Chains A and B, each alone.
Chain A
Amino acid sequence: MFVSNRAILHVDMDAFFASVEQARRPGLRGLPVIVGGPCGGRGVVATCSYEARACGVRTAMPIGQAERLCPQGVFLPPDFKAYTAVHERLVELLGGFTDQVEVASIDEAYLDVTGSRRLFGPPRAIARRVQEQVYAEHGLTCSIGIGPTKLLAKVAAGLNKPAGIGELQKADVGGRLRDLPVGDLHGIGPVTEERLAALGLTTVGMLQDVPFAVLAAAFGRDAHGLRQLALGRSLAPVSRRRPLPKSVGREMTFADDTNDLELLRGTLLGLADRAVADLRRHGLAARTVALKVRYNTFHTVGRHRTLPRPAAAVPAVYRTLVELLDDLDVGVRWVRLVGVHLGSLTHDAFQLTLDEGWRELALGAAVDEVRAKYGFSSLSLAGARGR
């Protein structure tokens, strides 16, 4: 049984990066644009325009292969700064329709418009207005799915790409949804799809009908979740929280291999500073600190430690890194690269401490403010090395 009577839109930008490039360089319109890189190198395709897709180019394909398939293509390196800027303005635009916006990724968002209908009309009318406004302001097209759950809205958007509007209702779960390949369900990736195929389950309908014992035997505790997906029963609400990144990190390769402890520590301080700045920009705190060291032999070691409480300030992170570094024989062996990764991220509220905790936070906030205005390098920590 559905308990959801909500109206949810899934807004999915069409070939986002490539479309942004085409929008700002009208000369590229109608041409096969492939964003990714580096060209000729080991990079992969990040996004390609529909013209490029017509040649068989796909996301995540090695650039080299894309070049062979589409020699006439326009290959561009990604300009994430530009994409992020457009993304932020799009999120703002969507916020004009409802305050219930969940940003799923740089080019996707869910809108719960249940409460917006009296203001803007039925969901389909809202979807049309979103498309019109996105096109008018940014010259970009998007596909929009409408459904009572995020799951159905997303499937509906996928079925109507590019630039379409589609709707899946509760009733469609026993109808149209049944004929779709299982891979169309968000949450079933290529690996699961393959395992399902091995059981002969290729369509959503098959996944709905297969005896539960068969699923359970193959997927154990995940069986229930799969069945719920097939029945369109994922009721996760539209959440205004952004999905948490799994970790933030920074690495640096030295111009010359080094065994200089001072330089290593200074570099770690600089990397910690940047990683912590990323953390704070997302409003997060980290529970684990990981150190990565690659020796000149290319042998790479990683060490991590869990902090007694989440940290969003440099000192706690740096102290831990130094301790981890001291456990390695870096003074003896030559180091090629060091990296700092902060994990177990949380943006849950966290308990502050009396000992300097709040001073660190206040300082961090002040530093962030200055850097936002004058650039990251306008302020650096004494002793920090690198860039």
Chain B
Amino acid sequence: MRLTVDRTALVDKLAILARGASTRSALPVLSGVLLQATDGRLDLFATDMELSIKATLATVVEQDGDIVVPARLFTDVVRNLPSETVAIEASESAVRVTAGRAAFSLNSWAASDFPQTSSFDMEGSLTVGRGPFVETLAKVGRAASRDETRPILTGVLVSMGGRSLKMVATDSYRLAVKETVLEAEIANEVQAIVPVKALTEVARLAGTLGEGDIDVAIGENQALFRLAGKDGDVYVASRLIDGQFPNYKQLIPETFDHEVTLGKELFTAAARRTSLLAQRNAPLRLTFAQGKLTMRALTQDVGQAEESLDMPYEGDEFEIGFNPQYLIEGIEAVDEDEVRLRFTNPLRPGLVSGAEGSFVYLIMPIRLSG
């Protein structure tokens, strides 16, 4: 392998791959980036076996070939090179990088040692705008679980079809559902449970690469995303999560006993203040009484806080407790100035939504003691 490449362009691509390479894996080669030179193009791959990223870069290739370079060190070296024109030459177990009067030789791995987990074949792909994708994920992503003991909940249920993009996530404490209307119609329908990590990565790349589309191909056990970049495409491949996603429609009650509407800014500001005293998993307590909502938080040995808001509530006084972070995240995800809260009783789920129904956020209370 022998090629010449632009330093800045290469640094950009390596930055994109940085999240893909695995830093602590039993397989040392996973801490590397696979460089593959063919047809006047340099392909770069990184994977942690679950999530794979591929970036392409058009460049001058004098001789095809491939090699796996240590990601961190290679990136640092390239970033620090003294000139923009970089020559890369690979032997069997080392890569030589030269620019200006600087020369580096890095021990490397053979390409055959690198596990290719995806063919990056975009057959049957659909297209969604980056904007709708990022927005939709932003509403539900935080509700996905980070707890690997229940893998299914670390995924987001993604459905696309017609002019709809829908994502659902739950960590069993809350459930977020967001449906976004797309500008262009999608020909066929797909549904898959995609790890939230992969979707977050795609959204991050969409942010880095600017406006445009995302091509999505859902295969048997893999989801593929392609984003066009200025001097080459970026791909993200992720395994899909196997299993049955919770029947979320069944979890959302059809009727509630109490309903209130509150100003988003006012409520979240007060909730944040009060929650300063809800430490160590202590709940934020909401007491609804005639025309008034009182928030309280108490942390043993630390102190307590209380604040009340005027609000149009009629009905029996009742108290309900929530994890403040869960509640605030749900309310902030509503795109409107007014947020609807619906409850039945302190042991049943509450529903956060806007006036229109494209986003709903179901949240379980914290059972209050005495």
Residues of chain A touching chain B, judged by Cβ–Cβ distance below 8 Å, are: 241, 283, 308, 347-355, 357-358, 361-362
Contact = CB atoms under 8 A, between A and B. Distances in A.
Contacts of B175: 354
B362 A349 contact: no
B284 to A, nearest CB: 10
15 contacts: A283-B370, A308-B147, A347-B369, A348-B282, A349-B367, A349-B368, A350-B366, A351-B364, A351-B366, A352-B173, A352-B367, A353-B173, A354-B173, A354-B362, A355-B246
Given A348-B281, A352-B347, A361 B172 contact: no
A349 B347 contact: no
A284 to B, nearest CB: 9
Most chain B beta-carbon contacts within 10 A, residue among A283, A308, A347, A350: A350
A193 to B, nearest CB: 29
A295 B351 CA distance: 51
A211 to B, nearest CB: 30
Contact of A352 (B149, B170, B282, B366): B366
Contacts of A347: 369-370
A354 B170 contact: yes
B32 interface: no
B348 interface: yes
Contacts of A348: 281-282, 369
B172 A350 contact: no
Interface residues of B, number: 25
Interface string B352-368: 00000000001011111
A82 to B, nearest CB: 27
A319 to B, nearest CB: 13
Contacts, number: 56
B141 interface: no
Interface of B: 147, 149, 170, 172-175, 246, 251, 281-283, 321, 323, 347-349, 362, 364-370
Contacts of A241: 370
A351 B367 CA distance: 6
Given A283-B370, A355-B251, 19 more contacts: A308-B149, A349-B282, A349-B321, A351-B281, A351-B323, A351-B366, A352-B347, A352-B367, A353-B172, A353-B173, A354-B170, A354-B173, A354-B349, A355-B172, A355-B246, A357-B364, A358-B348, A358-B349, A358-B364
Given A283-B370, A348-B281, A361-B347, A354 B251 contact: yes
Nearest to B365: A352
Nearest to B326: A351
A321 B364 CA distance: 26
Contact of A350 (B170, B246, B251, B367): B367
Contacts of B349: 354, 358
Task: Please list the 5 inter-chain residue pairs (A to B) with the smallest Cβ-Cβ separation, ordered nearest first.
Answer: A352-B364, A353-B172, A349-B366, A347-B369, A349-B283
A358 B173 CA distance: 11
A347 B368 CA distance: 9
B231 to A, nearest CB: 46
Contacts of A355: 172, 246, 251
B251 A349 contact: no
